[in-house]
Amino acid sequence: MYPSDVRQKLASGNPVLGTSMFTREPFVAQSIYQTGADWVWIDQEHQPVGTESVGTICVQGRENGSAPVIRVPYNNPGDIKKAYDVGAVGVMVPQIDTPEDAKNAVKWAKYPPVGQRGIAPFFAGYLGVSAQDIIDNANDETILMLQMESVEAYENLDE
């Protein structure tokens, strides 16, 4: 398995360094990962990066010790689950305006008992671990970032 320590570094106050990638080309991703970046941000909201490319890019990142972070196009269970299922360590969710939006994103991103995410056994098999190993570690390893981008979101900040 290719665990990521980005969340632990952040929690302990250590800096993490990364960059964005605005191409869907795995060979470019490989070059970026070889720089030693702690994380690489892949934008599916504003860039034409499909699931097939993202899956390859995420596996490359994990193999190189870098945490892939995907900004999904929408706050919905399909996009969030798929981003984690292809290997993202972090998922950035745009347009979080209400407390309900935030709760739904968490629900779709985390395994029970925290959320309702289902397991994708293919990724576990690819990594040579059981689905239970993934479930046992994912809630602690993964990062969920919520983007508050509107006046409504600001007004709901205290909730």
Map out the domains of the chain as residue ranges. Answer: 6-149
Tell me what pLDDT residue 126 has: 64
pLDDT tens digits for range 69-80 = 999 999 999 999
1 is catalytic: no
Residue carrying the six token digits 């395994």: 111
What are the angstrom distances between the C-alpha of 147 and each of 9, 27, 117, 135? 21, 29, 20, 25
pLDDT tens digits for range 100-114 = 999 999 999 999 989
Does residue 2 carry a pLDDT above 70? no
Q: CATH: 3.30.1280.10, 1.10.630.10, 3.10.580.10, 3.20.20.60. Which one for 6-149?
A: 3.20.20.60
CA 92 to chain centre: 7
Distance CA 108, CA 78 (A): 8
Distance CA 123, CA 129 (A): 9
DSSP 64: T
Cα 114-89-140 angle, rounded to 5 deg: 40
Q: Which of 3, 19, 34, 46 is catalytic?
A: 46
